[in-house]
Amino acid sequence: MDAASFMLADQPLDVAALSGALQGPEVGALAVFEGRVRRTNLGRQVLRLEYEAAPELAEPEFERLANEIRDRFEILDLRCVHRTGSLEIGDCAVWIGVTAAHREPAFDACRMLIDELKHRLPIWKKEHYADGDSGWIGHP
């Protein structure tokens, strides 16, 4: 099995179902990463977040990234779902699941995917703060 998939979702993620779908007789390890909305960022109190994505650019870039990861690590499957729209504190913003025969490549591939995704996929985040201010993250 040699698979990868990426989805954008505008509704809350069912993380149990996402993990449950990653099955197979050769799977010895499942590494999952969930990125969640935190109340504090750089000392400011966050009320909610908005994510926006460019799907027609994100999908091919994810494919390139997934291919790089599969070239480096012995994994079976790699899946990622990223939220768009408005999110509250505690919501899951990004879910990543990687299966492999053994734990090491599963952990390593999961780590590489979240690290690279943050600065490569065309996804934008706007924070809304308790003081009424708001701003797009990563802007100079």
Partner 1 sequence: MSRRIEVRFFAVLRETAGKRSETLDTDAVTVRALYEELRTQYGFTLPVSSMRVAIHDAVQPWDTPLQDGDVVTFIPPVAGG
- Phi, psi (deg, nearest 5) at residue 130: -65, -25
Q: Tell me whether strands 3-9 and 77-83 are parallel, antiparallel or unpaired.
A: parallel
The amino acid present at 102, given as its one-letter code, is H
Binding span for partner 1 by CB under 8 A among 22-30, 47-55, 71-79, 102-110? 47-55
Contact 3, 70 (CB under 8 A): no
- The residue whose two tokens read 């969640």 is 36
Using rule CB under 8 A, residue 1 touches partner 1: no
Q: Tell me the closest approach of the beta carbon of residue 125 to partner 1, in angstroms.
A: 4
Of 65, 81, 94, 110, the one binding partner 1 by CB under 8 A: 94
Distance CA 78, CA 100 (A): 9
The amino acid present at 84, given as its one-letter code, is T
Mask: binding to partner 1, 60-89, rule CB under 8 A, as x and -? Answer: x---------------------x-------
Distance CA 125, CA 49 (A): 7
Of 40, 119, 131, 132, the one binding partner 1 by CB under 8 A: 119
Using rule CB under 8 A, residue 122 touches partner 1: yes
Could you tell me how many residues make up the chain?
140
Using rule CB under 8 A, residue 132 touches partner 1: no
Contact residues toward partner 1 (CB under 8 A) are: 35, 51-54, 56-57, 60, 82, 93-94, 114, 117-126, 136-140
